Amino acid sequence: MVNEHLANERTFLSWIRTGIGIMVFGFVLVKFSLVVNKLPASFFQDANIPKNGFTIFIGIALVITGALMIFLSYWKYRQTYKLLQQGKYLYSTLMLTVLTVVIFIMSIIIIAYLIMAAYPFMF
């Protein structure tokens, strides 16, 4: 019984680390976008740098996703703890599947944005 609780705690801590990592990536993305938008045009003499706020929205979405992941991991940890105490634990992949789909969709959006931003420089 102790091993199951320790595994539950390790899983919870792994989800917390992942959520923090996603939040940090989103924060860096937002800060980098703000810095690039504040630089004078003389730094980009011949470059055509897009000046839109789409990167900021992606970064904020990543921070929200990370925060949501942290909240859901705590909820799942508590739910699993109670079920382990009662001896009624059944494995479920619903939260894992939902978070994987959300992160995958956000990854596709980031890849598409990077391709669109790099397109003028590719040819």
pLDDT digits (tens, 9 = 90+) for 54-102: 888 888 999 999 999 999 999 999 999 999 999 898 888 888 898 889 8
User: Taking all residues of the chain, what is their mean pLDDT, rounded to a whole number?
Assistant: 84
Stated as kind and residue range, the H or E segment containing 122 is helix 94-122
pLDDT of residue 52: 62
Q: What are the structural domain ranges in the chain?
A: 2-35+48-122
Confidence of residue 41 (pLDDT cuts 50, 70, 90): low
The torsion region of residue 87 among left (phi > 0), alpha (psi -120 to 50) and beta comes to left
